[in-house]
Structure formats: C-alpha cells, structure tokens
Structure 1
Amino acid sequence: MSDPRTTLEPLDLDRDLALLHAWVTHPRSAFWLMQGASVADVREEYAAVAADPHHQAWLGRVDGEPAFLAETYDPALSTHSPLRDLSDLRPGDLGMHVLVAPPTGDPVPGFTRRVFGAVLDHCFADPDVRRVVVEPDARNAAIRAMNTAFGFREVRSVHLTTPVEKEAVLSVLDRPTPPAATAPPADFSADHLTPDHLARAQRHLVTKAISELSHERLLSPAPVGDPHEGRWELVAPGGRARYTFRAERLALEHWAVEPASVERTVDGSPAPLDVQDLVVELTPLLGIPDGLLPTYLEELAATLASAAWKLEHSTLGVDDLLAALDGPAATGYQVVESAMTEGHPGFLANNGRIGFGVDDHAAYSPEAGAPVRLVWVAARREHARLSLSADLTEEQLWDTELDDTTRDGFEKRLRDLGLDPADYLYLPLHPWQWRSKVAVTFAPDVARRDLVPLGEGPDGYQAQQSIRTFFNTSRPERHYVKTALAVQNMGFLRGLSPAYMGPTPAINDWVADLVEADPELRACGFSVLRERAAIGYTGDSYHRLADRAGVRSPYQKMLAALWRESPLPRLAEGERLATMASLLHRDGDGRAFVTALVERSGLSATEWVRRWLDAYVRPVAHCLVAHELAFMPHGENLVLVLRDGVVDRVLMKDVGEEVAVMDDQPLPPAVERIRADVPQDVRALALHTDVLDGVLRHVAAILHRDGVLAESAFWGEVRDCLVRHRDDHPELAERHAAYDLLRAEFRHSCLNRLQLRNTLQMVDLTDQAESLMYAGTLANPLAVVDSGA
C-alpha cells in the first residue's frame, strides 16, 4: 500500500540544485560517488540525466518536505546505466537508485524503510515493470541488507565501469503478486469469444478431427471426382451430414487435409463447421460411452475456448521466435514455450483443463506466459515423505530452492503458531490447487495444523506446456517444479500420487547413470534432466480410506510435487533451447517453425534433418536395443539444444512416470516399479508409435507440404539413421533382429481411441501396454520395398 504522505515529483534542477549538491556530496553519501563534486559538476550530471529519455530523476517528499532523491532508468537503454552490457537483463526491468537525505536532527526509526517502500511502489505503479534491478556497491552492507529485507535477490557479483569502476552486487526484485490467501479479482470478460475467432478455431479443429480420426481408421472418407484433385467425402451415419475436403494421403496413413477446403452440409444445405456437432453426428462410429460423451464435449468446448484465446492474444510469429532465440537463453526458451498453440498433435480434446475459469486461463495457462508464484505449505513430517536423489540432502534442496529470508519467514510462521519447524517439510502448490482444492477439500488437515499455509514464495515461475510444471524465471538455474493440479485435461485428472512419486528420484538416478555410462549415448549428447526430489502428503482421510478399505480415488493425488533439473546450467556459449514440440508449430500466418529453422541454418534440409535424427532417433533406438529401455519421447518431453538453428543434442525429461525396462535385467529394489512385461512386438512400438507415428509423421508432413523436403527423402533419412546405428554396433545384431525396426508393418496403436473409450482416464499407468488400443497395422515407411528386380 502506497504511503500518501510520501510523494515523488520530477527533479527541478533550477529549484533543487543547492539541495541536491548538499545531499550527494555529504559524507554519508560516499557510495553515491560524488564526493568533492562542485555545484557545476552536479548540474552537469543531472542535466545529462534530464536529457536522457530512458532515465528520470525524482525529488521525494515526506509530509511535504524534501527528503530523498530517486532515479529510475531503463537499464538496457539509458546512457547512464551501469548495467547496459549485462546479459542478465530482461524486458520489463527497471533500474533504481535511492538517496535518503542526511538527517538534520536525530534519526527517525523506520524512516529509510518508509522511503524505500515508497520508491518501490512508484516503480511498480508502471504495469510494464516486471522487475526492479539495483547494483549496490559490494561494500555497502547497509543498503544490501535493506534490499534483502524488501525481498531483493542477490544474483551475482559484477564488475562495473560506469560511471566509475566498482565491484557491485546485481540484485533483482520481481513484481509483487497478491497474497496467496486472496483470490484474484473475478474476470467477467470473454473478449476472445468472438464469431471470427470461433470460426477459425472450429475450422482448425474439424480439420484435425477428420485427419486424425481417419488416421486411426475410425472414419473412412471416400474419394470423389477426379482422383488427381484429391477430393474426399465423409458421410455421417444416417446420411444427413456430409463433409467434403481436399487432402493428400502421406506415409503412415497421414491425412494432410487442406483446412480451407473443408465444407459441411446438413440435409443438403451448407452448414457451419462445428467440432462438437461432428462428434455427435459421428457418435456411432466413435465408440464414446453415452455417460462420458458430455464430458468429452466439454473438453472440446474448452479446447475451442483456448484456441480462441490464443487467436486473440498470441501474436508472436515465427520471426519473433527466431529473434527470441537470439537473446538470453532462458528468455528465448520461455518465449518459444508460451508461443505453442496446438497442444498434442494427435488428440482433438487437448486443451480441456476442466476446472479452470476464464481468469484462471489468463493466469495459469502455458500460452498466457503470465508470471506465477507458487504457494507453499508446511506438511507435518510424520504424514509426508520427501524422497531425494543420492547426491542431494534435504538441507541442500532447501538451500537451492529457498533463500534464507524465505526460510526464516516460513520458520517464523510456524513458531508463531506454537509449532516446531523441525516437525515439518515444505510442499509447493499450484496457486489454483491451494485456492480451489486444498483450502477446502483438505480443510480438516489445515485446521489441525497437519498442513500449514506459509504464503507465496519469492520466485517467479512460468507454466510449461504440461500445465502443472513450472520453470523458474527468477532463477532459471533452479529446478522446475511439478505440482499436483486437479483439473481434467486430455483424458486425465492432472494429479500426482505421493506413492508414485516416492521412488521417482531413485528411478531418475538409475536412468541417468545408465545413460551417462553408455559411450554411444554420450557421443550423441543425449542426457536426462533428473527429477531429483519428490514430496507427497498422506495424512488425509482419503489416504486412510485407501489403507483401511482399499478405496482408491483422485483425492489421493492432490498433494504432491517434484523438483526437476533445469537445462540452463548445461548450456555452452552460443547454445539455445526449444521444446521439440516447436518443430510441429505453425504461427497464425501458417508459417512453420521447423521450416524457418532449416532456412536459417544455411544447411540443406537433408543435412538439417539428419542432424536432428542423430540427436533424437538414434539415442532412443539405442536405449531400446541396447538396454530394453523405453521412454515417452514425444515433443513435450524433449528439449532441443540448438546452435545456429541446428539441433545439436537433446535432453529428456519427465522420466519418472514415463520410462519402462522391458526385460529381466537386475534392478535396484527402489527402481523395480519401472519393470514392464511387454511382448516383443509391442516393445518396438516405443519407436514405431511414439516416435514415427507420434512425432515424425507430423514433421515429415510439414516439410513435405512446405516444399522443403519430400516425404520419401525424409523417411529415407530416418531409415539411414537406424541403419547407421545397426552397422556401428555389430554386438547388438541379435537385438536389432529381435526388434526388427525396419519391418514391413507394425501394429497401429491409436491415441484418440483411448480417450474416446474413457475420457476420464485413458490408460492404467501401472500397466500401460495392456491399455493400448489397436486398429490393424500400418505400413512402415522405413521398410525397403522389394521391387522384384
């Protein structure tokens, strides 16, 4: 809250020069670096400040009397900025200097804090300011302590040469957010829901429905007219609704449908495209249980709403993403992450997020890219489990994730309640989860102090595409935090099971050690972003019900979190990051990001694709053949390390929930959970379905349709990648033969069929192989066709 008796006004050099000279040359102002300056010197200095459009000087008054000097400036643009050459700067940064007038009588307790707070209020009154940046002299212990008391985080020591040479401590303060216990103001606007946005979203999703449901053989379009024109017709059961469109059928039965060509008629009359109507019209073909059909329609409605929001707010084009990658690595990575518009390339209902309201979407969706602060609770240690990697202790975890000031505040909160901090562990929550679930659904646990709300942490985060995972934007070197989130999205309630999280760090250690010890994987640059710590709370009635009566429910997955390594510390100079999902991205003008990367690289499309495949497909195949180890290597689970627009290597994440060992090799007891009994022909689907069908067919279609690389040449490169691996490892010949990755066909595992069968839980995570649904086989584009010659 601003202090109404403390005001700031532009410095009037003619009026304030004598006062200003007395302040900046006073012995107490030694760190202002103007000792011995003449009146003329001070005038010259502040006349230059006044002439700089990116730098402002302010006279501060308390109770109407001059009391302090403040300066605010754009640290990247001001000619007086001592920070302008630092790579740490971000858009929305504001530099600040404060000089409190030397006291004329006895010092007034708390006066400096009052002034400091007023200046910060002034800084953050500008809605474009995201962080305040300061650079106190490293020797100025008093001001550094003041900064820390107000929440500034000391980033690092810096050697500055402007205006004079000094050793300083770069410190930042993120924009404050409302207290965790206060719900954000209701947002009653829905400006994104317009007829134009809806029409575009409907056309896109109907096009995708026709393409993906035909790919999964739920629909059977028939050719019409001249076969060279590629026109097709789809007739709904009963014959009332008909869809016509142009499409090119590519390898793996990929239907490249032209969106602009899709037309619908009902009873012979033109009708608007409507994906919910399409599902209702085709229900007899889709196999959705009657009781779950409304839920699926709701997820489609929410996906349309999300698409409309992106059309209204997501203005970044491919050129903007390339430009972002030229800037700081952490910033560019998150710009690309927030620019993704499609979601999962196969699922239709992929942005459901049932439970979020309009304001929640704007606050917490990945595409909003809004700053988020996590809510922390203390969980009574006897009802919680903290699991750690072998190289991490509890104290080290808190040291790396929570600064001393924050931990002191947490401990004070517990002591003020008469509780012993040693009896508690710290658990981060999604703000929505606290407000909408924990504070209500777990009210008894909060009331009896088994869960104690501690408020928001100081770090800013950004939601990732997986929606419940957050990247630390204040300290990018710190861990990702993955939280439980009780919203329904893409066939699952996005919770986290404390029981399932328990062995996660041990599993990650084992996988990471295996990868690190393998010379082939090291040569590929393939590595794992480990989930190093996991915590879960089980002191609630829902867990007691499960223990006593065996009743399992989603309520047992609402209080857990894990910490995953950040990729930033692994980057070398010149390297940048992008989610692999970006290779499937087209911007609002239809331009493909992967095409732009190829063009920017200066390489031929063939060479660019070859390097990507060697960094991605080769290590995935090696893990399968050499170690019987399967990941879930889709676009969201891989981070590309780029150099000059070319994929240099990849980092795998989300290992704990999506990894399997498919043979009887010995495993540590804590890792035994990931063993899966999978038939040999199904094992190869970890490459055929998850890589070829789940990722490569989409990229192949983009490059083919953009005229960058013919699909036959693309699949030839994939085949050559696997052949090179086979030839480089004769010791694995028997296993290559068993996997037969170049076989003529493979089982057609279908994703939408899973979601349509059960919109609430697509698969049993404990036995995913048995949950799969098939639609015959697909011709393998990697197989060599015998010409008979």
Structure 2
Amino acid sequence: MSAPTTTHVYATSTRLGEVTIEPVDPDRDAGLVQGWLAHPASSYWQMGDLHVDDVREYLAGLAARPAENAWLGRLDGEAVFLTETYDPRVLLDGVHDTLPGDLGMHLLVAPPATPRHGLTDAVMTAVMRFCLSDGGVPAGVPSSVPSGGGTTAGSGQGALRVVVEPDVGNRKIAAKNAAAGFRVLREVDLGRGAHAKRAALSVATRADFAASALGDGFAARPEPVNHQPDPMVATHLTSGHMEHAHRHLAAKALAELAHERLFQPEPDGTARDGDSEGADGPAPDAYRLDLDGVTYRFTARRYALEHWVIDAASIRRTADAGLRGVVDLPVDALELIAELQPLLQVPDALLATYLEELSATLAGAAAKRERELDGTTASVTGLLEAVRTASGTHATAEAFQQVEAAMTEGHPSFVANNGRIGFSLRDYRAYAPERGERLRMLWLAARREHTHLALAADQTEAGHYGVPGTPGELSDAERAAFADRLAARGLDPADYLYLPVHPWQWEHRVAVTFAADVARGDLVPLGPGSDEYQPQQSIRTMFNRTRPERHYVKVALAIQNMGFLRGLSPAYMRATPEINDWVAQLVANDPTLRGAGFGVLRELASVGYTGDVYHRTPQPNPHRKMLAALWRESPVPRLEPGDRLVTMASLLHRDASGASFVSALVRESGVPPEQWLRAYLDAYLYPLVHCLLAYELAFMPHGENLILVLRDGVVRRAIMKDIGEEVAMLGHGALPAGVERIRAVVDDEEKALAIFTDVFDGVLRHLSGILAEDGVLGEERFWALVAETIDRHAAEHPDLGASRPGTGVDLRAARFAHSCLNRLQLRNTLQMVDLTNQSESLIYAGTLANPVTRRER
C-alpha cells in the first residue's frame, strides 16, 4: 500500500515526551538530515558521502514518487529522526510476498550529541503507532483523544502490517525491531553494487506490536486474514513420503533391535538379483527374520560392535497365504513392532504409547522428506556451502542454525525418537526443530517467595535480567513494560522474578494446570519477549536468533518424547549453576583440556516456581517439572576468525539423496581421511578420556550435546553443553557440598562404559559405518585411529595408569557390557530411567567385543 500524502501533523505521547511526525520539507530539512547520515552511527544507510544538495535531491525524489514518503519526527519540538514509508509491492517486488495492508518502513534516529537513555525506544514506539494507527483526528484536537494507541492526534497510516529489511549485521536495530514485535521471515539480498546488502526481511502486525515491549497502550484490532496454513492440509502425509518413512524406520528398527540382541536375523540364501561387488566394498549379505506368519528379507552389511547397516529399499515383507502361496505385504514400521511384540515384550499397558511415539516419528520423517525434496531444507551440498562461505559472526550463527534445523535422524540409536506426544499439527509446524521457525518466549512474573533464582558465581540478578543501558536477558523496554503491567494490576514488581515459558507450555499447561496460581497473582502473564529463538534438536532448548551472542534458554515443555515427559525440575535447577561453575573451572584449569581446545557452555542461571499445590503432594510427580528455565552460554562469543560451528549430530546426517554430511565434509576439507578423523578424535574423544581417567568425570557426549568448531572443514575443538542434568562424578573425588548430587560411584568396569557405551556404541559405531559405507575410510583403520588416540593419552599421562591391563579403567579391554537404550524405552515408554539412580536402571545384553582391544603380536 502507498502511504497517503497528508499535511496533518501526527502526535503521540511517549515516556520521554510528545513525539510529532510531519512530512519532510526537502529545502528546510536537507542540511539536518545530511548531518545525521554523515555520522558513523548511520553507516548502515550507506549514504554518509552525500552532500547537502545530494540529500535535498534524495528527499525531493521521495516526495515525487507515489510509492514512497519521508517524514520528520520531533521530540518535544526538537527534530530527532527521519522515517520513510513505502509500498513494498513496488520496492520489494519479487522479494516480499506482500499482503493487503502492508507498509514498508525505514528509520534513522539522529545520533545525539549527548546520549539520551530511552530515545530510540520512544521513537520506535511513535513510528509504529504512526504506521499502524487508523485515520485518527486532525492536528489541533486535544492530545487526550486516543487514536490507535497511547495518546495521539493526527492521521496515522492505517497499515495492518509493517515491513522492514535491516542489514543483518546491524545487531542494534535487530534488537530494537524485536522489541517492537517484528518477526524475521527470512534473509534476502537487496540492492546492487556498493549499496547491496543482506537483509533480515521482517514484519510486525498490529497484534505483534500491541503485545510487544514497546506497544503498551496500542489498541490492536483483529487480524482480517488468517495467514496460518490450513490445519486440515497435511501435504507431507502422502503414500510416497510415508512409504519412504516406513522403510527408513523399519530398517532402523531391524538394525538397532538386532544390535541390542532382541532377535537375530539369519543368513538367507535368496539374495536379491543384482547384488554384486560395489564401488564401496563387497556386496551386502542377504538376511531373513522369521516371525509368526511373516518373514522379513533384506540385505545388510555388518560392522564392528554388531552394527547393522540395512538397505531400506531391499526390505521385503511376505506372508504365506495358503493356496495363494507367498504374498508380498507393505513394509510398515508400526506393523513390524506389533509383529515383534512377543520378542520386545513391551508392557501391554504401554504398547500403544510406544506405537504413538513411533507414529509421530513416522509423520516427522515424512515432513522432513517433503521439505528436503522441495528445497525448503538444504541438501548436504547446500549446508556445506552455507558453512564454508559464512563470513562474520552473524553469517556463522545463521549457518550454524541452518545445519541445526536440517537434521533428519534424531537420536541415531533410538527407534522412536521423535514422539512429541502433545503436539498438534499446528504445534509441529511452529515448534519442531526441523522446521527452523522462530518463536518468542512468553514471560511470567513469578512471586518471589515461591520462586528460586540460582546464579553462577560471577552473575547477579540485576546483571542477568539487565540494568538500565545494559541489556541482559531483558531489554530496558521489556523491563519497563513488565513493571508497568504489574503496577497496573496493583502489584509491586519487586515482589516478582521473571520466568520465561514456551508458548506451548503456557497454552496447554500454565493457563490450565496452574490456573489457580495465575488467578491469585502468584503467576502473572506479562506477554511475549522481544527476542526470537530457534528450537534446537533437543526441542526445549532455544537459540537466540535476535542476539546470537546472548544465552540459550532451556524451558519446560511437558510433551512426551523419547521415553520422558520433557519437564524441567525447579529442585534440580537450583544446583545447576554451581555444578556448571565447578565443571567449567575444572576444565579451564586443566592444561590437557586447554591444549585440546575442549570447553563447556555454562548454564549460569536458573529459575523455578514451586508455589503450586503439586509441590505439596506426598509423592513426586511430573507436574513439579513444568515451571522452570535455565540460561546457557552461547558459543558465538567464542568464535575466532575462520571458525565455523556445527552440531556434532551433523556427522551422522544423510540428506534425502543419501549424501552424508561427514563424508562430504572430509572430501571438501582436502585433507586425507585419516588426518581428518585424527583431528576429530583429538577434539572429541581425547578430552573425554582425560576427564574420565583424571577426574572420574563423565558427560553425556551424544551428537546433540556437542558443538564442533571447524576451520577449513576440519574439526579443531569441541564444546560440551547440557552439563547440569547429565554430568556425573563416578568416584570419590572431592566435590563442593552444593555439587554432591552429581556423584554416582561405580566400579571401574562401569566407569569405562562412559566411553564404551556413550562414545563407542552411541556415536563412533554409527560414524564408522557411514565412512565405511561411503568408501571414505575402512572400519579397521577407523578403529585403529581410535586405539591410537587412547594409547597417545596413556603415553602422555602415564601417572593415570590408562589402558594398562588390570589397572583401573581399561579402555583397551577385550569386551565390555552391552548397555541397551531401546530396551530401556521398551520396558517403560513413560520414564526410561530413574534420573536419581541411572546406574541401577540400565539393561545389559551380555558383552560386546571391543574394536580397540589389544591385538596379539
């Protein structure tokens, strides 16, 4: 839409005084605007070299074009900003999918001679009211007459949605746009030559602004059009996508459940036609599995640690139909589990829950495939290009999150790994990590007497939430808006702590399950925060997309997923920052770990509410884990020039074409595969071995919990996260009193499982199979390099007695206990293990041959 020309002066009151907006007079205002543009603070406008005559011509050109307008803004009569409005159908043609009522906006705030706190907030508030307010009243009408928000006079522009496209590198304006309710749609390329820029195309509706920190008092009107996808349309649920998902999941189920020795496929003499020696090694062998009335045949290769790689396309399911002979049946992962039930022995009362998690995993796999095939999700080639070409902090963070959202497999060992019971189709589209969408946390004020805020030793409450002029997790505008909303209800902000909650958690849990707490004012809904977050693979952890250097936030999300209700315990969170401080200090003070570049992302603040009735019941219950949050450091501030970030889960990723991320990464790096793998093991395995042998300290080092730092495609260092809930002291070493909860004393053989089960079986087994299947590196050489890494640590630390037969933890032992993950979920689909005594919850299936055992000379 084109902004109407008007001679009226628009006026509105703000925290700093009255703001007026009037049409620009090129002759009168050119000198003033030229001075603003020439200031270094205005560099993103790319107009600092213009002279006064150039600016006058520029402003006159705006006035002459029907699709654009320029406006001068004053605060209490002093000119302090320029804003431009434009028709995005014209200026963003081919870039933005314009909707009726869209209005584009640019904003230039005058660089003040003396900084004035809150100026930009006041200006942004006024400009957004101006853009979104309807006609209003003429200038001269008393300013007490409301017109669209605040106290206003004069004509607003009547937009339904404001569109902006700031340079992605302009982090200050990104934060200010977020505070006004703007949502980033995507990044786009605009302009040409010297004026080209990578822009964050963003929009804010009337409702977005009204709910934002800067939108208090704005009267939002109902949105005239629902732009959400039709909830009845599920385009991913087609026979083609679902057949692929069934075959993929059936292959995984057969492979992982055979690996856990729940059954043993037998060699089959009826190999499929066409199987022969391949480019990547010998042809796969043929196997069969006979069940009650049904037979499965497939081809597979077997590797160390009883690892199966099954060709999903080869799976054939048949049944004896009597006189009709043997008939083919569809490959159906759900039917496979039902047919395997006598062997799996899932409790009858829980079988349907497991099948529901499996169904959700199938639906997710179909949706992921649809997005890959239509190009919404990048292929391996696209991901590598994004990582390789990322330049600067923002682009590196963008590529990091692009890889994060592209992951398709979930946990590599669990079969039902994307259950998410509780999500609707709309929820899935909004909150599933693979969708890559952004969301805003909803904030509650939680009464201080029922709420605990725990902080790392170097943190303070004021510093964590933010102080005037220094944003923390909340900006100045957010803190002011939240305090005003509490005061408007007659509540003292000093009596409350601020607690972020997931939008799903508010809608489905807080507003229902904790309705009494909300009604009595112990929990006060304050509205959405400004920053946009992207869900990570761990689904309840969010990466800050507005300010990537700020902390992750992890929140309770009471959906059922992979054997657990994904809550977050306030009691557990109370000790989390102290645990992280202790682990971080240990890591930082150890020269071996420093030399390996190993680091941890501290969880340095946690908050939890316990004023509800569920905390007063005789027995612990899941409802005690629904109102807590923690903040974790971002890896972005640790970047050095040339660094790139990827989740370690990417090393096990294959795209829709079957291309492997790790194989492509190795080949693109230009270094020999052995050298590449050695660098990875030095960054990942070596520090974990050292932590175990030197400190009896074990992490949960699966792919989602490690961030890899790449340089020229080669792993240079690894950063561990998710410390507070998943670190364990396995011996009698000294611990601070507040950290004692992580102690879980076990014998040396079980200590070794921290490497054998969690690293060898949980990660390296899969990685070795991928590299061998792709012809990048044979498994014998792979495991030889793993052995070399362990032996090198032993040689460099002879005092630790590492890997000497019969001395403590022996990582070169002949065999180790085969701990089974799927068996845990099959035994209890609602809670796989007792988190307070995980060792006693484990299920073993004999022992596995250690692929790095000592060889007889």
Give the equivalent residue in structure 2 for 1:199: 243
User: Could you give the per-residue CA deviations for residues 461-489 of structure 1, whole angstroms, max 9, x where no partner exists?
Assistant: 00000000000000011110000000000
Give the equivalent residue in structure 2 for 1:87: none
Q: Which amino acid aligns with 2:308?
A: W
Structure 1 residues 724, 278: closer, same or farther in 2, change over 3 A? same
Shift of 1:28: 7.5
Shift of 1:234: 3.5
2:382 counterpart of 1:320: yes
Shift of 1:266: 2.4
CA RMSD of aligned residues (A): 3.9
2:297 counterpart of 1:244: yes
2:538 counterpart of 1:452: no
8 Å contact 1:379–1:452 — kept in the other structure? yes
Structure 1 residues 355, 164: closer, same or farther in 2, change over 3 A? closer
8 Å contact 1:346–1:751 — kept in the other structure? yes
2:729 counterpart of 1:661: yes
Give the equivalent residue in structure 2 for 1:84: none
Give the equivalent residue in structure 1 for 2:219: none
Shift of 1:173: 7.4
Q: Which amino acid aligns with 1:70?
A: E
Give the equivalent residue in structure 2 for 1:11: none
2:597 counterpart of 1:530: no
2:666 counterpart of 1:590: no
- 1: CA distance, partners of 2:6 / 2:824: 62
Give the equivalent residue in structure 1 for 2:813: 743
Give the equivalent residue in structure 1 for 2:343: 285
Give the equivalent residue in structure 1 for 2:253: 209
Structure 1 residues 385, 265: closer, same or farther in 2, change over 3 A? same
Structure 1 residues 117, 202: closer, same or farther in 2, change over 3 A? farther
Q: Which amino acid aligns with 2:106?
A: M
2:456 counterpart of 1:384: no
8 Å contact 2:673–2:777 — kept in the other structure? yes
Q: Map of 1:24-35 to 2, 5 A cutoff?
A: 24-25=29-30, 31=36
Give the equivalent residue in structure 1 for 2:852: 782
**Matched residue of 2:848: which SS?**
strand
Shift of 1:784: 2.5
Give the equivalent residue in structure 2 for 1:357: 424
- 1: CA distance, partners of 2:179 / 2:561: 41
Give the equivalent residue in structure 2 for 1:235: 289
2:263 counterpart of 1:219: yes
Give the equivalent residue in structure 1 for 2:785: 717
**Matched residue of 2:835: which SS?**
coil
Give the equivalent residue in structure 2 for 1:439: 511
Give the equivalent residue in structure 1 for 2:233: 189
- 1: CA distance, partners of 2:177 / 2:622: 43
Shift of 1:679: 2.2
Matched-pair identity in %: 52
Shift of 1:231: 3.7
Give the equivalent residue in structure 2 for 1:159: none
- 2: CA distance, partners of 1:256 / 1:503: 42
**Matched residue of 1:738: which SS?**
coil
Give the equivalent residue in structure 2 for 1:499: 571
Give the equivalent residue in structure 2 for 1:253: 306
**Matched residue of 2:542: which SS?**
strand
Give the equivalent residue in structure 1 for 2:716: 648
Shift of 1:419: 0.7
Please say which of residues 296-305 and 262-271 is displaced more in the overlay. Answer: 262-271
8 Å contact 1:135–1:171 — kept in the other structure? no
2:68 counterpart of 1:58: yes
8 Å contact 1:49–1:57 — kept in the other structure? no
8 Å contact 1:493–1:760 — kept in the other structure? yes
Q: Which amino acid aligns with 1:617?
A: L
Please say which of residues 325-334 and 711-720 is displaced more in the overlay. Answer: 325-334
Q: Map of 1:93-108 to 2, 5 A cutoff?
A: 96-97=106-107
8 Å contact 1:70–1:119 — kept in the other structure? no
- 2: CA distance, partners of 1:638 / 1:113: 52
Q: Which amino acid aligns with 1:429?
A: V
Q: Tell me which of 412, 427, 438 is aligned to 2:484.
A: 412
Please say which of residues 762-771 and 112-121 is displaced more in the overlay. Answer: 112-121
Q: Map of 1:693-708 to 2, 5 A cutoff?
A: 693-708=761-776
Shift of 1:732: 1.0
Q: Which amino acid aligns with 1:463?
A: P
TM-score by length of 1: 0.84
Shift of 1:233: 3.6
Structure 1 residues 19, 640: closer, same or farther in 2, change over 3 A? closer
Give the equivalent residue in structure 1 for 2:315: 262
Q: Which amino acid aligns with 1:538?
A: T
Q: Map of 1:2-41 to 2, 5 A cutoff?
A: 21-22=26-27, 24-25=29-30, 31=36, 37=52
Shift of 1:121: 5.5
2:835 counterpart of 1:765: yes
Q: Which amino acid aligns with 1:219?
A: F
Structure 1 residues 450, 257: closer, same or farther in 2, change over 3 A? same
TM-score by length of 2: 0.78
Q: Which amino acid aligns with 2:833?
A: V
Gaps in structure 1 of 5+ consecutive residues: 9-17, 63-67, 79-93, 154-161
- 1: CA distance, partners of 2:418 / 2:597: 33
Give the equivalent residue in structure 2 for 1:15: none
Give the equivalent residue in structure 1 for 2:551: 479
Structure 1 residues 652, 22: closer, same or farther in 2, change over 3 A? same
Shift of 1:596: 1.1
Structure 1 residues 163, 620: closer, same or farther in 2, change over 3 A? closer
Structure 1 residues 221, 772: closer, same or farther in 2, change over 3 A? same
Shift of 1:113: 8.2
User: Could you give the per-residue CA deviations for residues 408-452 of structure 1, whole angstroms, max 9, x where no partner exists?
Assistant: 011111111111111100000000000111000000000000000
Shift of 1:313: 1.9
Structure 1 residues 147, 242: closer, same or farther in 2, change over 3 A? closer
Q: Which amino acid aligns with 1:497?
A: S
Q: Map of 1:154-193 to 2, 5 A cutoff?
A: 175=204, 178=208, 187-193=231-237
Shift of 1:225: 1.4
Q: Tell me which of 728, 746, 749 is aligned to 2:796.
A: 728
Shift of 1:535: 0.8
Q: Which amino acid aligns with 1:755?
A: Q
**Matched residue of 1:379: which SS?**
strand
Please say which of residues 112-121 and 426-435 is displaced more in the overlay. Answer: 112-121
Structure 1 residues 539, 474: closer, same or farther in 2, change over 3 A? same
Structure 1 residues 613, 735: closer, same or farther in 2, change over 3 A? closer
Shift of 1:342: 0.5
8 Å contact 1:192–1:309 — kept in the other structure? yes
Q: Which amino acid aligns with 2:30?
A: T
Give the equivalent residue in structure 2 for 1:628: 696
User: Could you give the per-residue CA deviations for residues 116-148 of structure 1, whole angstroms, max 9, x where no partner exists?
Assistant: 984986643xxxx67687989x9xxxx999989
Q: Tell me which of 407, 412, 417 is aligned to 1:340.
A: 407
Structure 1 residues 544, 350: closer, same or farther in 2, change over 3 A? same
Shift of 1:236: 4.3
Structure 1 residues 727, 27: closer, same or farther in 2, change over 3 A? closer
- 1: CA distance, partners of 2:426 / 2:178: 32
8 Å contact 1:123–1:132 — kept in the other structure? no
- 2: CA distance, partners of 1:692 / 1:500: 29
Structure 1 residues 739, 405: closer, same or farther in 2, change over 3 A? same
Structure 1 residues 642, 121: closer, same or farther in 2, change over 3 A? farther
Q: Which amino acid aligns with 1:637?
A: N
8 Å contact 1:233–1:242 — kept in the other structure? no
Q: Which amino acid aligns with 2:364?
A: S
- 2: CA distance, partners of 1:404 / 1:613: 45
Shift of 1:308: 1.0
